[in-house]
A and B are shown apart, each in its own frame.
Chain A
Amino acid sequence: MPKVALFLRLFSWFSIRHMLKHRGRTITVLVGIALGAAVFTSIRLSIHASLDSFSKSMNSISGRTDWTVVRPGGRVSDTLVGLLLRHPCVRAASPILSTYVKPVQKEAEPFLLVGVDPIMDRSLRSWQIDRLNKEDAGLWLDLLKYPYTMFIGHPLSRQFELAAGDFLTLEHTFRKSDFRVLGKLAPEGPAIVEGGRIAITDIATFQEFTNLHGLIDRIDLRLRPAVSENDLEGIRRLLPEGVFLQSPTETRKSGQQMIQAYQLNLSILSFVSLFVGMFLVYSIVALNAASRRHELAILRSIGASSHLLFLLFLSEGLFLGVAGWLMAIPISSFLVKYLLYGVSKTISVLFVRVHVENLVLSGWEILLSFGITVFISALSAYHPARKAMHVDPKEVLSISRQEKILKKSPFQLAVIGFFFIFFVWPLSRLPVISGFPLAGYVAIFLLLTGFSFLSPWGLHAMGNFFALFLGRLGGEPARLAGLYVRDSGSRTSISVGALITAVALYTALVIMVHSFRETVEIWVNQTISGDLFLRPKMADINHHRDPLPPEVIRTIKNIKAPVDLVPYRRFYLNYDEALYQFEAMDFQNFARYGKFFWIKGNPSQSLPKLIEGEGVLVSEVFASQTGLTVGDFYQSRIEGAALQLPILGVIRDYRTQGGDLSIILLDIFSRK
């Protein structure tokens, strides 16, 4: 009989039947594995979906763009377009503006409004109008001809029940205006950005609507083939101070990097969920191996090799892994729907805006989760399988055995546990090595294993106490129950270890996916204890690009009542490949109402300097990402102004995009 067939038959006779006999136990373990695998898979899948949607959006919105002209923290003058087009290497240039707007009256999420020159933009992006007839060929140019007209994506037309000729009132910081719908955009190319919740209008209309006369967000350039570095230098020389050439891949990369960092953290965390399954597999296979010792001896005595026994028990782990993973499929498909929303929302708030419509099933992700689940289950079966392998065939005989049991005492285990936990704090303080916080992950691992090692001792102590207490309360049976907990030893402790891991994990995951976002939002709002926060409409989603209208500022400044004002501005910038936010505020007043948590630097010495505008504070995240710290110089260009300021302190800031604080606010205002 072929070996594999024999093995499978024996596995079904010996192992499967045993599992079926102890159905409850087996199902519990399977559910444990399935939950772990489901959490892992659905988390990976939902981040993958966000990443995928982000990359697709970035690619389709940048179209055939080779380089982009930007002014970090500010906008570019539209006169630059003509200048650039005259350069022999520039094949096409398209000015572009975009912002999130909200339909008035309707309770709806903001959507993206893009302003382009319909003619210039054709050579960079392929916008397609839906169901275009021959006689409608000129429709595209109607954007130019008629002000306040727009094309909208399918989802918008569905949501607001809009057809060609209908009007929609949109609102932005400065005004509300009626836009006439010219038609629908075919769901392809740049029109799939934001899941199709996009509208496109002529650039002149856009500028008037948003009060940005003569200004554009950026200019996308398409160059002639084989442009040399020299030619690029030539183009750069055309640009005024503070205006730069940026590669669209760079922008995409920095966004992707942030999502990937989040993905790594969540993956590692959700990987812990598989640990729970690992504990369970270990405990059930160990239990089987121990309780079936005699059967193993029988097998050995009738000619089964120790190797075969090892394989039988290892396969039990494998089988549980595969079956658990299969059970995870329906759980994941339920979980992923919920997580997709949570994860993409968190990514949008913390890093870059993503709009995930549906799930992309990545074969690689599924294979990964399958591989990891099965591997981990087999790994946890390894140790019990080794034990099974060493069962003495002589045990079939009824020989009076005096087996010596070598077990570590609960106290010894607890010492190991304390030893592990002791290292958690120093490990978590170690620096990140090339973007991978290995020491941090090891610290998490030690924390979990440390507490698991403590559990036998804890149970022992608790059992003692409970036995006494329960004995008084419920008599002898209750006392015996208490003693059982004390003496059940490793079996109960493994379950307790699994529970510790599970609870820690789910708490951490909920924080990462949910409350983290909310905490950050609350934290951002509460850093300063103000009575009233005044900010432009949709400031967050529009990255604070549009400051308060001058008339608002004037009105506020003229308030007679004794009011303290803390003017504040925020810019979204990038430092090499790391995106970060630059915040400017009036430190004098801020210091009275708000406080930072300083990690490095001397607050009392630095405060006067900060108030004078002679330095900046950086967040911990920014410091670790850029390697800059107290004593270094922070350099950047914001709205054309070059900044070079000493870093006076490193502070705690929960935003993952970093955060940079300085007092040069008044300076910038006066320059504007």
Chain B
Amino acid sequence: MYPTSPIISAKALTRTYSPGTSTIIGINEINLEVFPGQIVVLKGNSGSGKSTLLSLIAGLDHPTRGELTVANHDLKTATPTALTRYRRDVVGMVFQSFNLLPTLNVLENVCLPGLLAGHPDSRVRAKANELLEWLELKSRLHHRPSELSGGEMQRTAIARALINDPTLILADEPTGNLDSCNGKIVIDLLVDLNRHQGRTVIIATHSKLADPYATLQIYLRDGTITKKTCQR
């Protein structure tokens, strides 16, 4: 169906936690292939392992067992420095709780990943302005997150996720803290990024908002994939 090689490839991917003597399963023996340009929706009950899987793909966490390759990066063996660079350059993340830095204003929050990546100030600024204009936040550039509405915060977070032109966009429950109207706007934006810019998008969500657009739906239960449905 997709001629190119997969952008994400997971083989027997497992993440377990062992606080004290017990072992808790985050995800267990997951096999998965995602191709460039796909829009993937992760579904499942609370505690089923959606966030755990996303955190592994985002390079925020290390697998316990199995293989995970994303955009030619072997995340199982990557060093901490390589992971940091990977997070900065390859993925953009959007979270349920927005995760903006409270002491930075909108423009600064958006610019920061670009500056951390070592890009020239002027270029980062121009790009941030362009993104914020597109996201209709032009009038909010110098406001702190505490002065924004939920929808504005999430749009700022999306701008931040895009500043370094990531090939992969990961969203964990992006509509969880938003009303249905703003939730729709956010999903539309993510779909837009996929459709018009060809970015691969993975959304973990309880809501049905994204379902119509998904090219791949993955159902998780107790850390394992119970069902995959491909559309198109």
Contact = CB atoms under 8 A, between A and B. Distances in A.
Interface stretch (A39-47, A293-301, A358-366): A293-301
Interface of B: 17, 19-20, 24, 47, 51-52, 54-55, 58, 60-61, 80-81, 84-85, 87-89, 93, 95-97, 99-104, 108, 112-113, 115-121, 160, 164, 172-173
A13 interface: yes
A404 interface: yes
A14 B115 CA distance: 14
10 contacts: A6-B116, A9-B115, A21-B103, A295-B101, A300-B87, A301-B87, A304-B116, A306-B84, A398-B172, A399-B51
B177 to A, nearest CB: 10
Interface string A391-404: 01110111110111
A18 interface: yes
Contact of A1 (B19, B120, B160): B120
A393 B103 contact: no
Contacts of B121: 1
Given A399-B52, A400-B47, A402-B19, A6 B115 contact: yes
B20 A13 contact: no
Interface string A303-320: 111101000000000000
A543 interface: no
A402 B51 CA distance: 15
A28 to B, nearest CB: 20
Contact of A396 (B81, B88, B95, B164): B95
B108 A13 contact: yes
Interface residues of A, number: 32
B160 A14 contact: no
B103 A302 contact: no
In the A-B complex, list the 3 residue pairs whose CB atoms are closest, starting with the nearest: A303-B88, A17-B103, A302-B113
Contacts of B19: 402-404
A298 B156 CA distance: 14
Given A9-B115, A404-B19, A298 B101 contact: yes
B1 to A, nearest CB: 30
A299 to B, nearest CB: 7
Nearest to B108: A13
Contacts of B81: 305
A397 B108 contact: no
A303 B97 contact: no
B51 A305 contact: no
B102 A397 contact: no
A59 to B, nearest CB: 58
A393 B91 CA distance: 14
Contacts of A13: 101, 103-104, 108, 112
A396 B164 CA distance: 19
Contacts of B47: 400
Interface in A20-35: 21
Interface string A436-474: 000000000000000000000000000000000000000
A14 B103 contact: yes
A301 B99 contact: yes
B54 A1 contact: no
A301 B93 contact: yes
A393 B87 contact: yes
A17 B103 CA distance: 6
Contacts of B80: 306
Given A17-B103, A302-B112, A394-B60, A1 B173 contact: no
A404 B60 CA distance: 20
A394 B81 CA distance: 15
Contacts of B54: 397
Contacts of B104: 13-14, 17
A558 B181 CA distance: 115
Contact of B84 (A9, A305, A394): A305
Contacts of B116: 6, 302-304, 308
Could you say which of A21, A295, A396, A397 has the most chain B C-beta atoms within 10 Å of its C-beta? A397
